[in-house]
Amino acid sequence: MFLIVGIAPKTKILDHTPRICPACGLAQARLKRVDSYFNLFFIPLIRVKKGETVIICDRCESVSSEMSSPYYAPQAGKNLKCNSCGGPLDGKFRYCPHCGKPVILKIS
């Protein structure tokens, strides 16, 4: 009798909320973590390595790091200021409601 053992990756979906994929622009990317598991008879038994949290697109399968996703940019919109007039922004605006200039997001 043979023991079939090995290390295999196992993808875990951490958050089912779709994110915008930076590669194809569709909201088909999900927050996932690829862990390495010690397998016995193809059954993942022990997690040997905790993988990095990445965003993997279901559609184009492109992998991006969590922080590079544009999904997170508007979320950081607490202390945003317009870099033209300094007026407060809540991160939803593409144009400043105070001076009308296009918003370049900058966290102060």
Write out the residues near Zn ion by the rule CB under 5 A.
Answer: 21, 23-24, 57, 59-60, 82, 84-85, 87, 96, 98-99
CB of 54 to Zn ion, least distance (A): 13
In one-letter notation, the amino acid at residue 7 is: I
Nearest residue to 70 (alpha-carbon basis) of 23, 16, 102:
23
Residue pair 10/44 in contact (Cβ under 8 Å)? The answer is: yes
Select 5 or 85, whichever has its Cβ closest to Zn ion.
85
Select 39 or 82, whichever has its Cβ closest to Zn ion.
82
Q: What is the DSSP string of 47-86?
A: EEE---EEEEETTT--EEEGGGSGGGTGGGTTSEE-TTT-
Q: Strand, helix or coil at 8?
A: strand
CB of 92 to Zn ion, least distance (A): 14
Select 36 or 64, whichever has its Cβ closest to Zn ion.
64
CB of 107 to Zn ion, least distance (A): 16
CB of 24 to Zn ion, least distance (A): 3
Select 31 or 96, whichever has its Cβ closest to Zn ion.
96
Dihedral of CA 13/75/19/104: which sign?
negative
